[in-house]
Amino acid sequence: MPGNWYLSRRSMLRGLGAAVSLPLLDVMLGPTVRAAVRVEPTTRLAYLYIPNGVAEGAWQPKQVDQNGKIVSLNPWMGSLQPFAKDITIFRSMWTPRGNGHSAGTATWLTGGGFNRERIDAGGTSVDQIAAAHFRDDTLLPSLELSTRGEGFFSSSLPRNTLSWVDSRTPAPRDIEPRVVFDRMFRVGKSGLSDRSVVDLVLDDAHRLQRRVGRLDQKKIDEYLESIRAVERRLKFAEEQQQRADKIAGLRSALVRPEPGIPDDHRAYVQSMMDMIVLAFWADATRVCTFMLDHGQSNRYFNFIEGVQGTWHALSHWKDASGKTEDDDGITFWSSREEKRDMYNRVTAWHTEQVGYLLNRLQQIQEPSGSLLDNSMVVYGSSLADGHEHGEKNLPILLAGRGGGTIQSGRVIGDRRDTSMSDLHLAMLHRLGVPQQRFAESSDPLTLG
């Protein structure tokens, strides 16, 4: 490879009907940058949202030393123990102008108050401010992902919207993994929808590999294999749906999701997580939101061992009669303790899915660290304890080191209330967004 040959960061592998963004390669850095001691990282931002809060005490670590360092996590957060050095857990964080299932969801990322009559979320959400900053740098300004909602409130706009282009314009969400994949990697109408994207760009990939060094050749191979693995997962989900159509009685016996959504909820959530990984790895976008459910989810989690009833019903764990809120009139619990344990198990299940995402990000290496090192993944809810609908001491954590700008592995905060807007402002600054104020905050949270 010629020593002065340089490849643009926005280069793509192209084929008939496909265009695949490339991961960061050494050849993209140029000879001057390659010779430097440190490569400035590209920082990404993701917000992962869960509704219905968590039971009091289910979010805080089991043991923290005198300096605030996380020593061990509690059982419901235990799946994140391998990432204890990579996460920051907050105490006494709240949203002073938005709370509840609808208002809290709609304003979690705006820091505003919610006006129900005007459907006004109080401002542009933090992710869309960041997306506008990167609009000319990436294929997609941002990704807005969500699972398909279940239950009575699944069509409620404020309960289904985190991202706002402006105070009254919600950003549309994608709920099908295949649609997100095609947005990132397929172009035009080639008529080749059944062919693998990797196969379509393989000739171009081979041409590029002949011009780059061995390390870049390996990176390209690993990246394309990851894309192919996602395609295999999507293809399997599609085949399972087709199989259900062909077996007599099976379709009517199953409450099946719409085409393109896996029947298995874990597979569904993890497929969406895979989209985040690919988007960040390919630099298709640097900003993403993912609603793991809508803001008052009535989803049944009976597939978790020892759990019965809907998520929202379980969140009101102090009511064990089965006759309150949106209880189905069938499910009841023997005690508050039993119901709280089920509520905690749902919390633990979602934490496991976040662990899946962090593990994937950690495995991908860039010149300046892992993809996790160079990301900021904010995970949490707009409610504290679900039964109380509390707005104080929200369950919020931050994973990743923000390109080396975050001192992770600790608990931040005391009894003094801290607005979540302070955290949003700190995120924007780490992305290089010259924002002096966000919502009511002009004082970014100290994370370094």
**How far from the centroid of its chain's Cα atoms is residue 321's Cα?**
35
What does the DSSP assignment read for 139-197? SSS-EEEEPPP-STTTT-TGGG---EEETTEEPPPB--HHHHHHHHHB-S--S-TTS-H
CA–CA separation, 321 vs 285, rounded Å?
Answer: 47
For residue 182, tell me if it sits in a domain.
no
Same domain, 265 and 254: no
Task: Give 114's DSSP letter.
Answer: -
Same domain, 158 and 299: yes
**Coil, helix or strand for 49?**
strand
pLDDT tens digits, one per residue of 82-108? 999 999 999 999 987 877 788 889 999
For residue 199, tell me if it sits in a domain.
yes
Same domain, 51 and 127: yes
> How many other β-carbons are positioned within 10 Å of the β-carbon of residue 221?
12
pLDDT for the residue 6: 63
Structural domain range at position 346: 42-175+261-430
Same domain, 231 and 339: no
> How many other β-carbons are positioned within 10 Å of the β-carbon of residue 172?
10
pLDDT tens digits, one per residue of 356-368? 999 999 998 888 8
Q: Which of 421, 431, 425, 436 is nearest to 98 (CA)?
A: 421
For residue 389, tell me if it sits in a domain.
yes
pLDDT for the residue 433: 96
As for how many domains the chain has, the answer is: 2
Task: Give 44's DSSP letter.
Answer: E
Same domain, 301 and 389: yes
For residue 24, tell me if it sits in a domain.
no
Same domain, 311 and 365: yes
Same domain, 222 and 318: no
For residue 326, tell me if it sits in a domain.
yes
For residue 224, tell me if it sits in a domain.
yes
CATH number, domain of 325, equals: 3.40.720.10
Same domain, 241 and 339: no
pLDDT in tens, the chain (448 residues): 445 566 776 666 666 656 666 677 777 775 554 444 456 889 999 999 999 999 999 999 999 999 999 999 999 999 999 999 999 999 999 987 877 788 889 999 999 998 888 889 999 999 999 999 998 888 789 999 999 887 777 778 889 899 999 999 999 999 998 888 778 776 545 444 556 666 666 777 777 777 778 888 887 777 777 777 777 666 655 554 554 455 343 344 333 233 467 889 999 999 999 989 988 988 889 999 999 999 889 899 999 999 999 999 999 999 887 776 566 778 889 999 999 999 999 999 999 999 999 999 999 888 889 999 999 999 999 999 988 888 889 999 999 999 999 999 999 998 889 999 999 999 999 999 999 999 999 999 999 8
Same domain, 237 and 303: no
Same domain, 135 and 106: yes
CA–CA separation, 372 vs 379, rounded Å?
Answer: 14
Please give the structure tokens belonging to residue 276. Answer: 């985040």
Same domain, 256 and 273: no
CA–CA separation, 361 vs 355, rounded Å?
Answer: 10
What pTM was estimated for this model as a whole? 0.83
For residue 8, tell me if it sits in a domain.
no
CA–CA separation, 12 vs 200, rounded Å?
Answer: 12
For residue 359, tell me if it sits in a domain.
yes
Same domain, 248 and 212: yes
